[in-house]
Amino acid sequence: MRPAVGGVVAMGGASDKDRYQTAVFAGGCFWCMIAPFAEAKGVIEVIPGYTGGDKENPSYHEVCSNLTGHCEGVRVTFDPVLIDYEELLNIFWRQIDPTDAGGQFFDRGTSYRTAVFYHDQTQKEKAEASKKELNSSGRFNKPVVTAILPASTFYPAEDYHHDYHKKNPEHYKRYRRGSGRDAFIDKHWSK
């Protein structure tokens, strides 16, 4: 038997998939959240979708109506031997304005709110600790308001949203610049 990794015990001969874990983050537009996670060594898959609400199998248009309770998010499958949950949290915080409770950049409403959706007590504690550390860092002049919530059902988004940054690279780049996301990240994290 191999040693426990992040709460998962891998049995000898078991496939690597047996040790993979899941993290879910909401950071406004999910198009902008896929690439930063997908580029990280140890991330196996990043799926855009909807979570945190009540409606079963919501569509993009329903979620954007702000009537489902869902927000856009990403489900990250990762290998904890290669990347730990704390590093995923660091990637997450560096993609968002954690002080904005009304959405992200020019995307407004509950469907664009930020949140960390934890899957177990360990993820909850690590998320709360990283939020506290960010709050006390002095990096922002307002408090961090990103919610830390228990994970609920995650509904994958329609196919055209998957890997949007690869399928539509020019539109994706214009969207990031035009929304103010890139300027915000540059201002707060380039130092």
Burial of 182 (0-12, 13-18, 19+ CB in 10 A): middle
Question: What's the pLDDT score for residue 12?
Answer: 46
> The domain spanning residue 49 has which CATH number?
3.30.1060.10
Residue 179 lies in a domain: yes
DSSP state of 42: T
Cα–Cα distance, 117 to 150 (Å, whole number): 5
Residue 5 lies in a domain: no
Q: Is 29 a catalytic residue?
A: yes
Cα–Cα distance, 34 to 146 (Å, whole number): 18
Parent domain of 83: 19-189
Question: What's the pLDDT score for residue 191?
Answer: 67
Q: What sign has the CA pseudo-torsion 25, 31, 37, 43?
A: positive
pLDDT digits (tens, 9 = 90+) for 132-149: 999 999 999 999 999 999
Q: Is the pLDDT of residue 6 over 60?
A: no
**Taking all residues of the chain, what is their mean pLDDT, rounded to a whole number?**
91
Classify 175 as helix, strand or coil: helix
Residue 10 lies in a domain: no
- Model confidence at 7, in pLDDT bands (50, 70, 90)? very low
Residue 102 lies in a domain: yes
CA distances from 144 to 32, 65, 81, 136 (A): 20, 25, 30, 9
Provide the domain count of the chain. Answer: 1
pLDDT digits (tens, 9 = 90+) for 154-172: 999 999 999 999 999 999 9
Q: Which helix (H) or strand (E) holds 178?
A: helix 169-179
Question: Which residue out of 29, 32, 64, 71 is catalytically annotated?
Answer: 29
- Model confidence at 190, in pLDDT bands (50, 70, 90)? confident
Question: What's the pLDDT score for residue 16?
Answer: 75
Average pLDDT score over residue span 61-81 = 96
Q: Is the pLDDT of residue 13 over 50?
A: no
Residue 161 lies in a domain: yes
**Full DSSP string of 114-160:** EEEEESSHHHHHHHHHHHHHHHHTTSSSS----EEEE----EEPPGG
Average pLDDT score over residue span 120-130 = 98
Q: Are 129 and 30 in contact (CB under 8 A)?
A: no
Residue 25 lies in a domain: yes
pLDDT digits (tens, 9 = 90+) for 56-70: 999 999 999 999 999
Residue 12 lies in a domain: no
